[in-house]
A and B are shown apart, each in its own frame.
Chain A
Amino acid sequence: MKLNKEKYIKYELGLTLIFFIYYIFLTVESFISTQNVISIYFNVVIGYTIAVILLVVFLLLFTKSNGFENDERDSLIEAKAYRNAFLSIITIVNLLLILLLFNEAFFEPFILFNILFGTLFIAHIVQSITQIFYYKKGI
């Protein structure tokens, strides 16, 4: 039996949102504490990677599956989701470039790093939401 991708994406989206909120919390906290950007990055990235691996293992064991379903419809939905994720990255990076032109405060490495890192999270959330949308509404 193969694991349904739609189900997995829903769980993964939940996990991503939890880690995104955790990341925002750490970033806001770092303004008042001495915690540096590198430790935030490693906390979030390593934590998220481990959480996703555990989620996949748990789902495969719990549903007694031997892999993910991936047919032509899944591939098409995935392609559309990657397109939207890419568009969201391009949009945010362009906005950032415009902001950099008019406001020197954005040249601060801490701010730049957090905006770019947050962009990756947002792109992943956009990707998951796109996939769920197309699975529900049809393509």
Chain B
Amino acid sequence: MKKSVLKNNIRKLRFNSDEMTQQDLANKLGVSRQTINAIEAGKYSPTLELAFRLAEVFNEKLEDVFQYN
């Protein structure tokens, strides 16, 4: 399988948002906790829509949440 080149700061952003749990974030986005875990671990690249919604939850720009290299 091709190695994911999409990095993210979700763990750090969660920690900075009053130590938000994966379940809390999942509830806000309407996805499962396993999906949040997979995104954080780089095992799943979210759709553009989910990526924008993720950035919106943390009040950050998309490029501050995800980095492509």
Q: Please classify the interface of chain B as helix (H, G, I), strand (E, B), loop, or mixed, using the class held by over half of its residues.
A: loop
Residues on the B chain within 8 Å of A74, using CB? 32, 35
* Max count, chain A CB within 10 A of own CB: residue among B32, B35, B47: B32
Residue of A with least CB distance to B42: A138
Q: Is A64 on the interface with B (CB-CB < 8 A)?
A: no
Interface residues on B, range: 10 to 19
Residues B31 and A138 in contact, CB atoms below 8 Å apart: no
Contact indicator A4/B43 (Cβ below 8 Å): no
Instruction: Show 17 A/B contacts (Cβ-Cβ < 8 Å), sorted by A.
Output: A2-B32, A4-B32, A4-B34, A69-B32, A71-B31, A72-B47, A72-B50, A73-B35, A73-B44, A74-B35, A135-B34, A138-B1, A138-B41, A138-B42, A138-B44, A139-B38, A139-B44
User: What are the 6 tightest A-B residue pairs by CB atom distance, in nearest-first order?
Assistant: A138-B43, A71-B31, A69-B32, A73-B35, A71-B35, A73-B44
